[in-house]
């Protein structure tokens, strides 16, 4: 197309949800250098691969501010710049002034909580008046399968839950395991499928850091007759497993949005989630899903987010207690929900309706294409 723009964009999973599925512009996807490999303090910036050599009108960045001279728009999940507790360091001011500068044309939060976190992060800073007008909100988008709900909740009688997430403790995998154990002890017909590499320990930023903490739960995964651990699966297989389940479990202790949740809702599968991050923005308890409660800070994060004493006994005891409480609450709500098939069928229909209303790709494509033109000061031409 004669008037199409040339857009540079990053590889990696999050950008796929926060970009147009189809565009009238020419979007080139390239690798970038995660500078946190050099030092964690500079995770908030990046450099794109310059090859093959080509001129771009605009960069559509995500989470990391691109170094260079090309104008850019940037989407983000929670904090921008990504300095995570280093707001008093000089690097925060340097990166923030890049956002305030002329190269940065628009800042796109993926949720309302991300918008609030951004404004809180920059409150009282001298550049706030320059960056706040650039800020807008756009939810992620996904391809929604054009299909009717083929799931029959009356067949089979077993209630099927599926947990998906590699950071097993952070994403709430222990809640899934403990709920399965409680159901087995009560004789309640509940089955839990686990799709996870079972990453635990210091590699995640939430949950006890001692690997030994996980051992009792690992034994449950190996021995409970109503738990199946699949390891990692290809994405089509994961989506099919979600489609065949009564609920997706996202009993997470820390998340920005939860892309698996909207993938599930697009397939009529309601989500059992905690009230963390953006999840309460689109999951309504007992309407299109089930919400479990965690104590949160003023930013909507779990109140123990960022705690540095994850290796200590008090933290392990607290985490274990939270797992127990959430597992009991989960099982109680599932039992109540599936007793009434009409209520559950309505929940499935409303989950799908939410996905269609908030996360369909068509509106997102128009949003991003218009934003690209606005960012470079070009109005759409006839036929565009």
pLDDT tens track for 102-139: 999 999 999 999 999 999 999 999 999 999 999 999 99
pTM, two decimals, is: 0.92
Count how many Cα atoms sit within 13 Å of the Cα of residue 126 in the half-sphere of its side chain: 5
Q: How confident is residue 378, by pLDDT bands cut at 50, 70 and 90? A: low
Q: Are residues 41 and 173 located together in one domain of the fold?
A: no
Residue appearing with tokens 């800042």: 107
217 and 347 co-located in one domain: yes
Looking at the fold, whether 333 and 297 belong to one and the same domain comes out as yes
- Say if residue 336 is in the same domain as residue 346: yes
Q: Given a cut of 50, is residue 383 above it in pLDDT?
A: no
In a domain, 170, yes or no: yes
Position 332 pLDDT exceeds 50: yes
The pLDDT tens digits for 47-88 are 998 898 899 999 999 999 999 999 999 999 999 998 877 888
* Overall domain count for the chain: 2
pLDDT at residue 381 is higher than 60:
no
Q: Read off the pLDDT of residues 253-291 as tens digits, 9 standing for 90 and up.
A: 999 999 999 999 999 999 999 999 999 999 999 999 999
Same domain, 308 and 370: no
Predicted pLDDT of residue 201: 81
Residues 135 and 189 both lie in one domain: no
pLDDT at 19: 96
For residue 99, what are its two tokens? 């956002």
Percentage of the chain exceeding pLDDT 90: 80
Q: What is the average per-residue pLDDT within 317-332?
A: 97
pLDDT (average), residues 16-42? 87
Quick check: is 154 in a domain? Answer: no
Residue 8: its pLDDT value, please? Answer: 96
Question: Order of strands, edge to edge, in the sheet holding 289-292?
Answer: 227-231, 190-195, 159-164, 247-250, 271-274, 289-292
Specify the range with the lowest mean pLDDT, choosing from 26-30, 121-125, 149-153, 237-241.
149-153
Question: Tens digit of pLDDT for each residue in 353-362?
Answer: 999 999 999 9
Band of pLDDT at residue 3, cut at 50, 70 and 90: confident
Least reliable range by pLDDT among 44-48, 53-57, 203-207: 203-207
335 phi and psi angles, rounded to 5 deg = -60, -45
pLDDT of residue 1: 43
Q: Are residues 45 and 72 in the same domain?
A: yes
* Higher per-residue confidence, 155 vs 221: 221
Residue 163 lies in a domain: yes
Q: What is the pLDDT of residue 306?
A: 86
Comparing 30-34, 83-87, 151-155, 230-234, the range with the smallest average pLDDT is: 151-155
Does 177 lie in the same domain as 304? yes
Inter-residue contact 309 to 327 (CB < 8 Å): no
Q: Give the residue among 224, 54, 263 at the shortest CA–CA distance from 140.
A: 263
Q: Residue 113: phi, psi to the nearest 5?
A: -65, -35
* Claim to verify: residue 321 and residue 179 sit in the same structural domain: yes
My answer on whether 332 and 371 are in the same domain is no
In this structure, the answer to whether residues 326 and 368 fall within a common structural domain is no
Q: Once rounded to an integer, what is the mean pLDDT over residues 35-55?
A: 83
Residue 325 lies in a domain: yes
Q: 291-314: per-residue pLDDT in tens?
A: 999 999 988 999 999 899 999 999
Range(s) of the domain holding residue 45: 6-141+360-376
153 belongs to a structural domain: no
Same domain, 230 and 121: no
């Amino acid at each position: 197309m004669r008037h199409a723009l040339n857009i540079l964009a990053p590889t990696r999973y999050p950008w796929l949800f926060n970009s147009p599925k189809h565009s009238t512009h020419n979007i080139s996807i390239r690798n970038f250098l995660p500078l946190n490999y050099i030092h964690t303090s500079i995770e908030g910036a990046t450099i794109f691969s310059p090859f093959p050599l080509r001129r771009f009108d605009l960069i559509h960045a995500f989470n990391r501010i691109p170094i260079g001279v090309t104008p850019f728009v940037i989407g983000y999940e929670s904090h921008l710049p990504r300095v995570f507790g280093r707001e008093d360091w000089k690097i925060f001011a340097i990166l923030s002034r890049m956002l305030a500068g002329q190269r940065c044309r628009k800042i796109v939060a993926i949720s309302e909580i991300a918008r609030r976190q951004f404004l809180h992060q920059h409150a009282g800073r001298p550049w706030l008046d320059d960056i706040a007008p650039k800020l807008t909100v756009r939810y992620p988008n996904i391809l929604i399968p054009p299909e009717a709900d083929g799931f029959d909740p009356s067949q089979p009688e077993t209630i099927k839950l599926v947990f998906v997430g590699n950071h097993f403790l952070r994403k709430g995998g222990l809640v899934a395991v403990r709920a399965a154990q409680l159901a087995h002890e009560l004789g309640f017909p509940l089955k839990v499928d686990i799709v996870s590499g079972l990453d635990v320990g210091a590699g995640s930023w939430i949950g006890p850091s001692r690997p030994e903490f996980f051992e009792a739960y690992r034994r449950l995964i190996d021995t409970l007759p109503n738990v199946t651990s699949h390891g990692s699966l290809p994405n089509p297989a994961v989506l099919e497993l979600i489609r065949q389940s009564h609920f997706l479990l996202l009993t997470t202790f820390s998340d920005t949005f939860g892309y698996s949740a909207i993938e599930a809702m697009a397939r009529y599968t309601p989500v059992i989630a905690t009230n963390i991050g953006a999840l309460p923005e689109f999951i309504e308890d007992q309407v299109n899903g089930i919400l479990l409660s965690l104590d949160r800070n003023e930013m909507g994060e779990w109140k123990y987010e960022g705690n540095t004493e994850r290796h200590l006994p008090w933290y392990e005891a607290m985490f274990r207690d939270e797992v127990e409480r959430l597992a009991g609450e989960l099982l109680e709500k599932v039992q109540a929900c599936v007793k009434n098939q009409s209520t559950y069928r309505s929940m499935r229909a409303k989950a799908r309706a939410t996905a269609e209303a908030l996360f369909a790709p068509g509106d997102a494509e128009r949003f991003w294409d218009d934003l690209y033109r606005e960012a470079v000061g070009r109005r759409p031409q006839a036929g565009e």
